Amino acid sequence: MSHIARWVLASLLVVVGCAKRSSEPAPPGLHAAVADSAQAEGALLRVGAPLPDLEAVAQNGERVSLKALSGKPVVVYFYPKDDTPGCTVEAQEIRDAWQELAGTGAVVIGVSVDDAASHRAFAEKYALPFLLAPDPEQRWASAFGVPLKNGRAARVSFVFGRDGKLAKVFPSVKPQGHARELSDALHALGA
Protein backbone atom coordinates (compact mmCIF):
# COMPACT_ATOMS: atom_id res chain seq x y z
CA MET A 1 0.00 0.00 0.00
CA SER A 2 1.40 3.40 -0.95
CA HIS A 3 2.22 6.13 1.53
CA ILE A 4 -0.74 8.23 0.30
CA ALA A 5 -3.16 5.30 0.45
CA ARG A 6 -2.07 4.46 4.03
CA TRP A 7 -2.49 8.11 5.10
CA VAL A 8 -5.94 8.40 3.49
CA LEU A 9 -7.07 5.10 5.05
CA ALA A 10 -5.79 6.15 8.48
CA SER A 11 -7.51 9.52 8.16
CA LEU A 12 -10.80 7.90 7.19
CA LEU A 13 -10.58 5.55 10.15
CA VAL A 14 -10.05 8.50 12.46
CA VAL A 15 -13.16 10.18 11.05
CA VAL A 16 -15.31 7.16 11.89
CA GLY A 17 -13.55 6.67 15.21
CA CYS A 18 -12.05 3.24 14.47
CA ALA A 19 -8.38 3.99 14.85
CA LYS A 20 -5.81 6.42 16.14
CA ARG A 21 -4.54 9.06 13.76
CA SER A 22 -1.61 8.00 11.63
CA SER A 23 1.67 9.47 12.77
CA GLU A 24 2.78 9.74 9.15
CA PRO A 25 2.63 13.28 7.76
CA ALA A 26 0.37 13.96 4.83
CA PRO A 27 2.07 14.07 1.45
CA PRO A 28 2.69 17.61 0.19
CA GLY A 29 -0.35 19.14 -1.46
CA LEU A 30 -2.71 16.46 -0.17
CA HIS A 31 -4.43 18.79 2.34
CA ALA A 32 -5.36 21.23 -0.45
CA ALA A 33 -6.58 18.39 -2.67
CA VAL A 34 -8.65 16.92 0.17
CA ALA A 35 -10.04 20.38 1.02
CA ASP A 36 -10.99 21.04 -2.61
CA SER A 37 -12.54 17.57 -2.86
CA ALA A 38 -14.46 17.98 0.41
CA GLN A 39 -15.75 21.40 -0.69
CA ALA A 40 -16.69 19.99 -4.08
CA GLU A 41 -18.77 17.35 -2.32
CA GLY A 42 -20.36 19.94 -0.01
CA ALA A 43 -23.98 20.78 -0.50
CA LEU A 44 -25.15 24.00 -2.07
CA LEU A 45 -27.67 26.02 -0.10
CA ARG A 46 -31.10 24.51 -0.57
CA VAL A 47 -34.27 26.27 -1.64
CA GLY A 48 -35.85 27.82 1.45
CA ALA A 49 -32.51 28.57 3.15
CA PRO A 50 -32.09 32.09 4.52
CA LEU A 51 -29.71 34.58 2.94
CA PRO A 52 -26.34 34.05 4.70
CA ASP A 53 -25.21 36.82 7.04
CA LEU A 54 -22.13 38.03 5.15
CA GLU A 55 -20.47 41.35 4.41
CA ALA A 56 -17.88 42.60 1.94
CA VAL A 57 -16.69 45.84 0.42
CA ALA A 58 -17.63 45.89 -3.27
CA GLN A 59 -15.49 47.17 -6.14
CA ASN A 60 -17.06 50.64 -5.86
CA GLY A 61 -16.22 50.95 -2.13
CA GLU A 62 -19.80 50.22 -1.06
CA ARG A 63 -20.18 47.99 2.01
CA VAL A 64 -22.45 45.09 1.08
CA SER A 65 -24.34 43.43 3.91
CA LEU A 66 -26.60 40.60 2.81
CA LYS A 67 -28.58 40.91 6.04
CA ALA A 68 -29.33 44.57 5.23
CA LEU A 69 -30.85 43.54 1.88
CA SER A 70 -33.88 41.98 3.56
CA GLY A 71 -37.05 42.99 1.73
CA LYS A 72 -35.37 43.04 -1.70
CA PRO A 73 -34.85 40.21 -4.17
CA VAL A 74 -31.15 39.31 -4.27
CA VAL A 75 -29.09 37.52 -6.90
CA VAL A 76 -25.70 36.21 -5.79
CA TYR A 77 -23.75 34.72 -8.64
CA PHE A 78 -20.37 33.05 -8.21
CA TYR A 79 -17.85 32.95 -11.02
CA PRO A 80 -14.25 31.72 -11.28
CA LYS A 81 -12.17 34.75 -12.31
CA ASP A 82 -12.40 38.36 -13.45
CA ASP A 83 -11.77 39.18 -17.10
CA THR A 84 -11.70 35.62 -18.43
CA PRO A 85 -13.77 34.62 -21.47
CA GLY A 86 -16.71 32.84 -19.79
CA CYS A 87 -16.87 35.21 -16.85
CA THR A 88 -16.81 38.20 -19.19
CA VAL A 89 -19.65 36.81 -21.32
CA GLU A 90 -21.74 36.20 -18.19
CA ALA A 91 -21.03 39.66 -16.75
CA GLN A 92 -21.70 41.43 -20.06
CA GLU A 93 -25.03 39.64 -20.48
CA ILE A 94 -26.06 40.65 -16.95
CA ARG A 95 -24.95 44.21 -17.78
CA ASP A 96 -26.95 44.17 -21.01
CA ALA A 97 -30.05 42.93 -19.15
CA TRP A 98 -29.47 45.38 -16.30
CA GLN A 99 -32.54 47.57 -16.91
CA GLU A 100 -34.80 44.52 -16.80
CA LEU A 101 -33.06 43.03 -13.75
CA ALA A 102 -32.96 46.33 -11.86
CA GLY A 103 -36.61 46.87 -12.76
CA THR A 104 -37.49 43.92 -10.52
CA GLY A 105 -35.90 45.72 -7.57
CA ALA A 106 -33.22 43.03 -7.35
CA VAL A 107 -29.72 43.59 -6.04
CA VAL A 108 -27.17 41.64 -8.10
CA ILE A 109 -23.84 40.67 -6.56
CA GLY A 110 -21.10 38.85 -8.45
CA VAL A 111 -18.63 36.98 -6.25
CA SER A 112 -15.19 35.54 -6.99
CA VAL A 113 -11.97 35.06 -5.04
CA ASP A 114 -10.40 37.99 -6.89
CA ASP A 115 -9.55 41.05 -4.79
CA ALA A 116 -11.23 44.46 -4.86
CA ALA A 117 -8.64 45.96 -7.26
CA SER A 118 -9.25 43.17 -9.79
CA HIS A 119 -13.02 43.61 -9.41
CA ARG A 120 -12.70 47.39 -9.87
CA ALA A 121 -10.68 46.95 -13.10
CA PHE A 122 -13.13 44.31 -14.40
CA ALA A 123 -16.17 46.48 -13.63
CA GLU A 124 -14.59 49.57 -15.21
CA LYS A 125 -13.39 47.75 -18.34
CA TYR A 126 -16.86 46.37 -19.10
CA ALA A 127 -19.03 49.11 -17.49
CA LEU A 128 -20.64 46.66 -15.07
CA PRO A 129 -23.44 48.40 -13.13
CA PHE A 130 -23.82 45.74 -10.40
CA LEU A 131 -21.77 44.92 -7.33
CA LEU A 132 -18.74 42.63 -7.31
CA ALA A 133 -17.78 41.24 -3.91
CA PRO A 134 -14.25 39.97 -3.31
CA ASP A 135 -14.00 36.60 -1.54
CA PRO A 136 -10.27 35.87 -1.22
CA GLU A 137 -10.80 33.95 2.05
CA GLN A 138 -13.62 31.98 0.38
CA ARG A 139 -16.05 32.75 3.24
CA TRP A 140 -18.90 33.50 0.83
CA ALA A 141 -18.24 30.37 -1.23
CA SER A 142 -18.20 28.29 1.96
CA ALA A 143 -21.40 29.83 3.33
CA PHE A 144 -23.23 29.14 0.05
CA GLY A 145 -21.67 25.67 -0.32
CA VAL A 146 -20.12 26.62 -3.66
CA PRO A 147 -17.51 24.10 -4.81
CA LEU A 148 -13.96 25.25 -5.42
CA LYS A 149 -11.56 24.01 -8.04
CA ASN A 150 -7.94 25.10 -7.84
CA GLY A 151 -9.03 27.73 -5.32
CA ARG A 152 -11.62 29.25 -7.67
CA ALA A 153 -15.40 29.22 -7.19
CA ALA A 154 -17.58 27.19 -9.51
CA ARG A 155 -20.12 29.03 -11.64
CA VAL A 156 -23.26 28.86 -9.45
CA SER A 157 -26.09 31.37 -8.96
CA PHE A 158 -28.65 31.90 -6.21
CA VAL A 159 -31.88 33.91 -6.36
CA PHE A 160 -33.47 35.02 -3.07
CA GLY A 161 -36.96 36.43 -2.68
CA ARG A 162 -37.99 39.53 -0.77
CA ASP A 163 -38.54 37.28 2.26
CA GLY A 164 -34.79 36.56 2.35
CA LYS A 165 -35.33 32.89 1.49
CA LEU A 166 -33.59 31.08 -1.34
CA ALA A 167 -36.05 30.61 -4.20
CA LYS A 168 -33.87 29.26 -7.02
CA VAL A 169 -30.42 27.70 -7.42
CA PHE A 170 -28.57 27.41 -10.71
CA PRO A 171 -25.96 24.76 -9.81
CA SER A 172 -24.11 24.58 -13.12
CA VAL A 173 -24.34 27.86 -14.99
CA LYS A 174 -23.55 28.25 -18.66
CA PRO A 175 -22.45 31.89 -19.14
CA GLN A 176 -24.32 32.48 -22.38
CA GLY A 177 -28.02 32.97 -21.68
CA HIS A 178 -27.72 33.10 -17.90
CA ALA A 179 -28.95 36.69 -17.62
CA ARG A 180 -32.24 35.52 -19.19
CA GLU A 181 -32.48 32.68 -16.64
CA LEU A 182 -31.96 35.16 -13.80
CA SER A 183 -34.57 37.52 -15.19
CA ASP A 184 -37.07 34.69 -15.59
CA ALA A 185 -36.42 33.53 -12.00
CA LEU A 186 -36.93 37.04 -10.64
CA HIS A 187 -40.14 37.50 -12.60
CA ALA A 188 -41.41 34.10 -11.39
CA LEU A 189 -41.04 35.48 -7.84
CA GLY A 190 -43.25 38.40 -8.75
CA ALA A 191 -40.23 40.63 -8.25
Active site residues: 87
Pairing type for strands 74-78 and 63-65 reads unpaired
Of the candidates 114, 136, 139, the one whose C-alpha atom is nearest the C-alpha of residue 125 is 114
Q: What's the CA gap between 15 and 187, in Å, rounded?
A: 45
Contact criterion met (CB below 8 Å) for 130 and 94: yes
Give SS3 for 56.
strand
Give SS3 for 190.
coil
Contact criterion met (CB below 8 Å) for 47 and 168: yes
